[in-house]
Amino acid sequence: MPAHQPQQPQPQQPQRPKAQSQSGPQQSGPQQPGARQPEFRPGAGSGPQSAPRTTTRNRAEQETMVGGPSARRSRGRGPGGPSGPGGGEPPKGPGREDERPSWRRFIPSWKLVVVGCTVVAAGVFGMLAVAYANTPVPLNAQDNVDDQGSVIYYANGKLLAKLGVKRTPVTYEQIPRAVQDAVIAAENSSFREDSGISFSGMVRSVYSTATGQQVQGASTITQQMARNYYDGLSQERSVQRKIKEIFVAVKLNKQLSKEQILTQYLNTIYFGRGANGIGAAAQAFFKKPVEKLTPEEGAYLAGRIQNPGEFDRQEKAKRFAGTEERYVYTVGQMAKLDPAKYGQLPAKSPKSPKRVSDRTKDYFKGIEGYMVTAVLDELESTQGIDREEVDKGGYKITSTFDKGLMEAAKTAVNQHTRGLTQEIRGSLAAVDPRNGRVVAFYGGDDYETDQWNDAFMSQKQAASAFKPYVLAAWLDNGYSLRSYLPTKSPIKMPGTTPIKNSHSFRSPAIDVVGATADSVNTAFAKMGEKVGLEKVIDIASGAGLNKSRLDDALNRHHFLITIGSSQVTAVEQAGGYSIFANQGKHFKNHVVIKVVDKDGGVYAQEKKTPTKVISPEAAADATVALQAVVKQGTGRNAALYDRPVAGKTGTNDANKEAWFVGFTPQLSTAVGMFREQCKTKTGKIVNPVNDRCPVTRGTSTKYNDQNPYSSPFETPLGSNFQGATYPAAIWKTFMTEAMKGQKVEQFPPRADSGMTENLAPKPTPTPTATVDPFPDDDSACGLLDPACNDDNVSIDPNEQGIPEDDDGMMGGGTNPTQEATVPDPIPSRREDR
């Protein structure tokens, strides 16, 4: 019972049992609103009657009361006021709940924590499940993942050049098991058993990314393969990318076999020295196919995967500690991976195996550079395969070039030009008339220092070496070799300056064979007039000469085109004469035989069908006339001792260009020479550097490509330069080597087709005085005549025959069986620089 009864009657409340306490006041039950309890004052009164009761409630009862209907009323007076059970501040003292520190009121119970964590985990798991389900399996490889460089071969299949990405795809069966184990041991020892991911590596990577550090390694082989092989996985360092990579790796591990994953990985990964994939790495470091790699070599390559670029730099600096450490680590891991097989490897081979020197060949040096560039130019212009595609397309390209003949061409030119000024340049091209293949050429000694390829790029007046196309038009138009042509000069042709011959003739007329052998200008001008210049251009362009240049020469020079005003290259001339060696048919000049793509399909192939340019009869009769040039005319110094030769000399006005173009049934070769001086804007002549006019001057910044210090200007070769001299000598030296071991083939017999069409009366044979073999120079212009600059054309004043009693530098003596002599062979001026 409470110490004091309330004054007002109240409803009967159910009573709860009360526990006795040894200390503390006894609390009363609920009170009427407004009722006050006796105030307890410690020490007040005396005796038993004055001591307060000390009964208390236990904690459970207190909590029950707190939770009752009258608990936690608002502060203040009124119902439940300060003295009431719900009003005012609660009493303080030992054993009460409200005595806890205030911060503990905000800590949830462990039950709430468990529930919260469960909800969060379920949410994260659900999101991951959704993300995993929505992550597609990559279907397409990255654009560059299977890039592999292209290989260019000589015509006989020997290697000419390797260009672009170093990658040699291999199959799983080609990779030795020891090499596979080395890579697995170094990169992902659980590869053969895991599900495509490593949880320890994943946690480490996520942690390092979240803390702002660089994402660490420890990705599995499957993850690395997914990242490097398939499209859609970026290389950014982020948690999102890492999670996506994990999902992809798990899915790929289910869809691909371990063999497929490892093969794709080893064909993709970079090893250093420019080598992508294990196949290329085997060649780059050990110069052997992957099948021949030893366990030690496999361990060295596997150790390099970690940081190939840095290892390259270290080894180039002769620091091998890094790669040696990785090798030791890898063989140790191999021993752990398979103790029975590799347990003795660390002790047996404690040091990494010897590698080949890192000598990356520059295929754009020497004469190889000219060949490679010629191939690349043709691939782009005819097949649409540019350099970038060559570098990564994995093509196998067979060129037309013969390595031995390429060297022979260089030797022939250099042999006969040593000691000459560097201003004089030579070009040579040899074409197989039976298929149009450019088998050899000379465009320079070293592409690295001189990128100008004279054989393909230098366009010079053909001079009298153009006359065979006029001859072909004459014969193909139905006129015969028996026809007579005028020798009297000068003659006036419409729209053209007077055309003269280099010397006088005993007779006012000469037949076509004689006119060709003696290179009679007036005869060919009249032949061109008879058949029409358009016919001549059709024949020449059909034989491979540039049509736009022919039209330009016709428009500017009119009938002078018949004696060689049009510009040609050595390659064009060599291919053009093929119509005579190949019964009137022409194959387009080309340097690529076949292109095979990386899947083994034939991407492009040379054409097998020629174009008919002239009739076989016209070709046979033209060859008869061109044989006369070598047998008795201006080209005697080009005669070969063991087989028939046909050809034509050409020397333009003032000896600015000199040609000899000749052929056998198997090979047509053109040799051209010209001279270019390097002049400054003030007219000062400076020496060329590496066959080029210097663009800059010392350290001056005034000069550049747009404002060069000097520029080339064509100038006369010299008085002893004619088509019959140096060009014929070079031609003979080259063709002697080219025809070694070749079957001796004869030209077709004379067809003697067509009708006689005399453009001059046939002369009556009468005794005549001996013609002076050294007539006065009656050229249309002298060396200093401004009319003889590059804007005007050749009238070929130097195409006179070499008399039999001429025992000078190129003379043949009086003995008709004596072989014609040529300039003494001399070493190359360029090779001695």
> With b meaning 16 or more CB within 10 Å and e meaning fewer, what string describes 385-395?
beeebbbbbbb
Predicted confidence (pLDDT) at residue 798 exceeds the cutoff of 70: no
Name which residue leads in pLDDT, 123 or 303. 303
Beta bridge partners of 375: none
Residues whose CB is less than 8 angstroms from the CB of residue 269 and which lie 6 or more positions away in sequence, other chains included: 224, 228, 276, 277, 278, 305
Q: What is the tally of helices (H) and strands (E) in the chain?
A: 27, 20
User: For residue 252, is pLDDT > 80?
Assistant: no
Residue among 627, 649, 539 at smallest CA distance from 586? 539
Banded model confidence at residue 56, pLDDT cuts 50, 70, 90: very low
- The confidence band for 241, taking pLDDT boundaries of 50, 70 and 90, is low
Please give the distance of CA 126 from its chain centroid, rounded to a whole number.
49
Say if CB 140 and CB 231 are below 8 A apart. yes
Judge whether residue 378 has pLDDT over 80. Answer: yes
pLDDT(288) > 50: yes
The larger pLDDT score, comparing residue 75 to residue 675, is at 675
809-826 mean pLDDT: 34
Q: How confident is the model at residue 667 (pLDDT cuts 50, 70, 90)?
A: very high
pLDDT attached to residue 99: 59
Taking alpha carbons only, the member of 466, 421, 435, 442 closest to residue 733 is 442
Mean pLDDT of 43-58: 43
Rounded mean pLDDT, 328-348 = 96
Give per-residue pLDDT as tens, 315-328: 999 999 999 999 99
Res. 623: pLDDT tops 90: yes
pLDDT at 143: 64
Q: CA–CA separation, 456 vs 672, rounded Å?
A: 11
Q: If pLDDT is split at 50, 70 and 90, which confidence band does 191 have?
A: confident
Which residues on adjacent β-strands are paired with residue 210?
none
Q: Which residues, 6 or more positions from 280, have their beta carbon under 8 angstroms from its beta carbon?
A: 166, 167, 168, 271, 274
CB 227 within 8 A of CB 219: yes
Measured distance CA(730)–CA(824) in Å, rounded:
11
Q: Which residue has the tokens 């040696």?
A: 324
Q: How large is the average pLDDT for residues 371-399?
A: 95
Written as six digits, the tokens of 615 are 């009739």
pLDDT of residue 291 exceeding 60, the answer is yes
| pLDDT value, residue 307 | 93
Q: Which is more confidently placed, 830 or 245?
A: 245
The secondary structure of 339-401 as a DSSP string is HHHHTTHHHH--SPPP--------TTSHHHHHHHHHHHHHIIIII---HHHHHHH--EEEE--
Contact (Cβ atoms closer than 8 angstroms) between residue 569 and residue 458: yes
Question: For 22-26, 98-102, 221-225, 528-532, which range has the lowest pLDDT when averaged over its residues?
Answer: 22-26
Give me the pLDDT at residue 785, please: 33
Cα gap 37→48, rounded to integer Å = 20
Residue 419 confidence class, pLDDT cut points 50, 70, 90: confident
Q: Which residue has the higher pLDDT, 482 or 206?
A: 482
Backbone angles phi, psi at 430, to 5 degrees: -125, 125
User: At 339, which amino acid appears?
Assistant: P
Once rounded to an integer, what is the mean pLDDT over residues 91-101? 53
Q: Read off the pLDDT of each residue in 22-41 and give the average, rounded to a whole number.
A: 43
- How confident is residue 40, by pLDDT bands cut at 50, 70 and 90? very low
Mean pLDDT over 473-501 rounds to 94
Mean pLDDT (whole number) for 713-741: 94
Higher per-residue pLDDT: 251 or 10: 251
Phi-psi region of 243 (alpha: psi -120 to 50; beta: other; left: phi over 0): alpha
Report the residue count for the chain. Answer: 833
Q: Tell me: the pLDDT tens digits for 553-606?
A: 999 999 999 999 999 999 999 999 999 999 999 999 999 999 999 989 999 999
Q: What integer best gives the mean pLDDT of the chain? A: 79
pLDDT confidence of residue 675:
93
Is residue 443 very low, low, confident or very high in pLDDT (cuts 50, 70, 90)?
A: very high
Binning pLDDT at 50, 70 and 90, where does residue 183 land? very high
The pLDDT > 90 percentage for the chain reads 57
**Least confident piece of the model among 184-188, 251-255, 355-359, 597-601:** 251-255
What stretches of 606-667 adopt beta strand conformation (E)? Answer: 611-612, 646-651, 657-663
Least confident of 163-172, 563-572, 725-734, 801-810: 801-810
DSSP letter, residue 715: -
- Say which residue, 430 or 60, is predicted with more confidence: 430
C-alpha span between 609 and 794 (Å, rounded): 36
For CA atoms 732, 659, 582, 605, give the dihedral sign.
Answer: positive
Q: Please indicate whether residue 551 or residue 58 has the higher confidence score (pLDDT).
A: 551
pLDDT at 312 over 50: yes
> Mean per-residue pLDDT for 411-426?
93
